[in-house]
């Protein structure tokens, strides 16, 4: 049979550029490929030769949606080389700024990118015409997240106040205080938001994932913890390289990750939630229960609910931190520059973000490796899609394409960190 390739429209509302290709043979999906075209930018190559002090500012530029994640990963990894461990208020401030990014990123994804799918709009702007109040409140929520980042970090995108060892300047109580009322309003909205999205029409779907997330004895994981999974993995971050492997496939500039000897795994909000439900605040737990979620969730279509539960958590956590805040005596801790290698992983809004650096005795980077969440999830996304598309093959192409888009958006694939437009290619053989 002649090869027939159906080209469908671009996929929008994902951050980054890519395409989706489905190969159909004999009425069954043979292969689904998430192609990531984001032009390579070679961060790991040009980080070599830079001073350790420059790394957070440079890695922030990997992604405009989650710069804090890259700043946190790199600072912590380098701090391990320099023998720095932050505690007290500096550690809290780092959690605070990360909460800002979680709120910004989750609310952006949930309301600006994902909710329009469920409600049948092209965009949040179009959605605003009928759901003005909801969109406005969501924008305010997002703005509050951004304001945390601007207050602590200087600006929301590529903050300038994060450095190895802490911050350049720490905020005063007076500077943080105005955030409190906004966060409290945001928290109230978040409870409502969880309820609103929980009523969306979700397909039934239970996937069997190996969830991988950080777990910390005392808190919902952001910057610290052990790498654990629901299938028995429980390792220190230092064992990441031994445990996970990245491969390079032809159809993508993002690298694919697997657990050595086991295969695909899934990181991100669903994994974090399912592995750390007990560490959520009572309000967040209750909101989740009322939304019909159990302590674990295997339905990727419900990820939007989980994102908002996490945003709710982040708002409460931010409130807690600000209420207890006392400015530390110094904005940063100085380490001793020495040769060595250090790695770290943090929980970016989209999942585990791993960094490893080797420095020479002048503090110059000689080796850098960064594993972004989207590339870790790519094999899982492809597996899921292969399975979903099978059930949709009878749909008209336009409808099929729309379904695929929606399905891909479940994973909030920040393609620019690995990689925009998703072009759907259906090769029906």
Site for other proteins in 239-278 (CB under 8 A): 246-250, 253, 255
Inter-residue contact 120 to 131 (CB < 8 Å): no
Phi then psi for 161, rounded to 5 degrees?
Answer: -105, 10
Selected binder of other proteins within 128, 309, 371, 426 (CB under 8 A):
128
Nearest residue to 63 via CA among 388, 316, 374: 374
Stretch that binds other proteins, among 18-26, 58-66, 172-180, 271-279 (CB under 8 A): 58-66
Q: Of the two residues 102 and 167, which places its CB atom closer to other proteins in the complex? A: 167
Stretch that binds other proteins, among 5-13, 86-94, 286-294, 384-392 (CB under 8 A): 5-13
For the CB of residue 424, give the shortest distance to other proteins in the complex, in Å: 12
For the CB of residue 50, give the shortest distance to other proteins in the complex, in Å: 6
Q: How far is CA 309 from CA 149, 227, 288, 316, in A?
A: 20, 22, 6, 11
Beta carbons within 10 angstroms of residue 46's beta carbon:
12
109 binds other proteins, rule: CB under 8 A: no
Q: Of the two residues 228 and 404, which places its CB atom closer to other proteins in the complex? A: 404
Q: How far is CA 380 from CA 9, 20, 296, in A?
A: 23, 14, 18
Stretch that binds other proteins, among 6-14, 83-91, 220-228, 229-237 (CB under 8 A): 6-14
For the CB of residue 418, give the shortest distance to other proteins in the complex, in Å: 12
Q: Which two tokens stand for residue 293?
A: 């979620």
For the CB of residue 289, give the shortest distance to other proteins in the complex, in Å: 30
Q: How far is CA 147 from CA 67, 99, 141, 180, 241, in A?
A: 15, 11, 10, 11, 36
Q: Sign of the C-alpha dihedral, residues 337, 340, 345, 348?
A: positive
421 binds other proteins, rule: CB under 8 A: yes
- Checking phi first, is residue 213 left (phi over 0); if not, alpha (psi -120 to 50) or beta? beta
For the CB of residue 323, give the shortest distance to other proteins in the complex, in Å: 23
User: How many Å apart are CA 248 and CA 257, to the nearest integer?
Assistant: 9
Q: Of the two residues 230 and 401, which places its CB atom closer to other proteins in the complex? A: 401
- Checking phi first, is residue 214 left (phi over 0); if not, alpha (psi -120 to 50) or beta? beta
Residues 312-341 that bind other proteins (CB under 8 A): 331
Q: Of the two residues 126 and 259, which places its CB atom closer to other proteins in the complex? A: 126
Q: Which residue has the tokens 């300047």?
A: 169
118 binds other proteins, rule: CB under 8 A: no
For the CB of residue 384, give the shortest distance to other proteins in the complex, in Å: 21
Q: Of the two residues 152 and 271, which places its CB atom closer to other proteins in the complex? A: 152
Please tell me the count of residues contacting other proteins according to CB under 8 A.
73
108 binds other proteins, rule: CB under 8 A: yes
Q: Which two tokens stand for residue 19?
A: 């395409």
Selected binder of other proteins within 8, 19, 35, 67 (CB under 8 A):
67
Selected binder of other proteins within 28, 31, 46, 88 (CB under 8 A):
46
For the CB of residue 113, give the shortest distance to other proteins in the complex, in Å: 8
User: How many Å apart are CA 221 and CA 218, to the nearest integer?
Assistant: 9
Residues 129-158 that bind other proteins (CB under 8 A): 135-136, 139-140, 142-143, 146, 154-158
For the CB of residue 155, give the shortest distance to other proteins in the complex, in Å: 6
Residues 155-184 that bind other proteins (CB under 8 A): 155-158, 160-161, 163, 167-169
423 binds other proteins, rule: CB under 8 A: no
396 binds other proteins, rule: CB under 8 A: no
For the CB of residue 134, give the shortest distance to other proteins in the complex, in Å: 12
- Checking phi first, is residue 316 left (phi over 0); if not, alpha (psi -120 to 50) or beta? alpha
68 binds other proteins, rule: CB under 8 A: no
55 binds other proteins, rule: CB under 8 A: no
Nearest residue to 161 via CA among 346, 56, 169: 169
Inter-residue contact 187 to 316 (CB < 8 Å): yes
Residues 6+ positions from 232 with CB-CB distance below 8 Å:
none
């Amino acid at each position: 049979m002649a090869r027939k390739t159906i080209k469908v429209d671009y996929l929008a509302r994902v951050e980054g550029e890519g395409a989706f290709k489905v190969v159909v043979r004999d009425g069954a999906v043979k292969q689904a490929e998430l192609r990531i075209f984001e032009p390579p930018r070679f961060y790991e190559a040009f980080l070599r030769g830079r001073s350790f002090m420059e790394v957070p500012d440079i890695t922030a530029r990997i992604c405009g949606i989650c710069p804090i994640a890259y700043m946190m990963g790199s600072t912590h990894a380098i701090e391990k080389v320099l023998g720095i461990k932050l505690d007290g208020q500096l550690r809290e401030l780092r959690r605070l700024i990360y909460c800002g990014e979680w709120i910004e990123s989750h609310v952006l994804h949930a309301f600006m990118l994902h909710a329009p799918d469920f409600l049948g709009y092209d965009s949040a702007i179009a959605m605003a015409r009928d759901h003005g109040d909801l969109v406005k409140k969501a924008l305010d929520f997002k703005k509050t997240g951004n304001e945390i980042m601007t207050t602590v970090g200087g600006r929301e995108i590529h903050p300038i106040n994060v450095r190895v060892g802490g911050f350049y300047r720490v905020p005063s109580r007076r500077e943080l205080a105005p955030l409190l009322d906004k966060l409290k309003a945001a928290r109230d909205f978040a409870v409502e938001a969880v309820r609103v999205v929980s009523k969306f029409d979700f397909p039934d779907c239970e996937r069997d994932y190996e969830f991988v997330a950080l777990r910390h004895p005392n808190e919902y994981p952001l910057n610290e913890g052990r790498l654990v999974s629901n299938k028995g993995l429980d390792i220190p971050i230092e064992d990441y390289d031994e445990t996970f492997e990245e491969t390079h496939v032809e159809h993508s500039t993002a690298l694919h990750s697997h657990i050595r000897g086991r295969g695909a795994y899934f990181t991100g909000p669903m994994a974090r939630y399912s592995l750390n439900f007990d560490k959520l605040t009572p309000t967040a737990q209750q909101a989740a229960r009322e939304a019909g979620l159990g302590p674990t969730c295997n339905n990727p279509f419900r990820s939007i609910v989980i994102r908002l539960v996490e945003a709710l958590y982040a708002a409460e956590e931010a409130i807690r931190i600000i209420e207890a805040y006392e400015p530390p005596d110094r904005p940063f801790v100085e380490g001793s520059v020495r040769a060595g290698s250090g790695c770290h992983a943090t929980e970016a809004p989209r999942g585990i973000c791993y960094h490893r650096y080797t420095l020479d005795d002048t503090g110059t980077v000689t080796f850098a490796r960064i594993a972004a969440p989207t590339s870790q999830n790519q094999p899982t996304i492809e597996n899921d899609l292969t399975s979903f598309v099978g059930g949709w093959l009878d749909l008209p192409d336009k409808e099929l394409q729309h379904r695929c888009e929606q399905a891909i958006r479940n994973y909030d694939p920040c393609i620019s960190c690995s990689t925009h437009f998703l072009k759907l290619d259906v090769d029906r053989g």
